Amino acid sequence: MIRKIIKIGNSEGITIPVSAIKAHKLKVGDKIEVLLNPPGETARLLEEAIGPLPSPGIERTHYVRKRMIELVESNINAAVFEVSVPSLGTGIEIAHAYTRPTRSLSEISILALYQEDYWPGGLSSMVLGISEEEYPNFQLKNYSNPEEARSHIVQFLQNLRSAT
């Protein structure tokens, strides 16, 4: 959510839409964590991961979609996804990852991480419903803080190393 800093009395602040307050079951006085990213930070991080991006617009949108699918379908051994917030894009990437064998690509290990109780509606059924019987190389792990998420990733990667 992008918000503008506004003047509030002798201070500055941001407003949060009532719909977001209700969705997260917050009330006045609750403490929340605010992550600050300067404008363009998301694009910078994406460029760091996948290379230079076209100018903002539909060309960039097409490029990012195509590049993300290329990466998931490339010569990889594993993929890690953060799934705390329902995302159609992330769901498509996960589907491309776990259906690789149907396109004559090697099966890979997948780790999906989610922060417990982060999203009011809970974890997506499409992710929660991936069973070990259906896809034994899929792991779903919850975490309560960034260190715990890092720990899951380190363990996942160590298990990959020892399996090869």
- What's the confidence (pLDDT) of residue 164? 67
Residues in the chain: 164
- Answer yes or no: are the C-beta atoms of 139 and 110 closer than 8 Å: yes
pLDDT over threshold 70, residue 122: yes
Residue of higher predicted confidence among 103 and 163:
103
Based on the domain organization, do 52 and 87 belong to the same domain? no
Based on the domain organization, do 67 and 122 belong to the same domain? no
> Which residues contact residue 93 at a Cβ distance below 8 angstroms, ignoring those fewer than 6 apart?
68, 69, 72, 79, 81
Helix/strand/coil (H/E/C) assignment for every residue in 75-119: CCCEEEEECCCCCHHHHHHHHHHHCHHHHCCCCCEEEEEEECCCC
Based on the domain organization, do 89 and 99 belong to the same domain? yes
Residue 55 is given by DSSP the state: S
Based on the domain organization, do 94 and 148 belong to the same domain? yes
In angstroms, rounded to a whole number, what is the distance separating the alpha carbons of residues 41 and 49? Answer: 12
**What range defines the domain where residue 66 resides?**
40-72
- Answer yes or no: are the C-beta atoms of 54 and 60 closer than 8 Å: yes
How many domains are there within the chain? 2
Residue 91, domain member (yes or no)? yes
- What's the confidence (pLDDT) of residue 13? 87
Q: Please give the angle made by the CA atoms of 13, 14 and 17, to the nearest 5 degrees.
A: 150
> 32-71 pLDDT, tens per residue?
877 777 778 888 888 998 899 999 899 999 999 999 999 9
Residue 1, domain member (yes or no)? no
Residue 50, domain member (yes or no)? yes
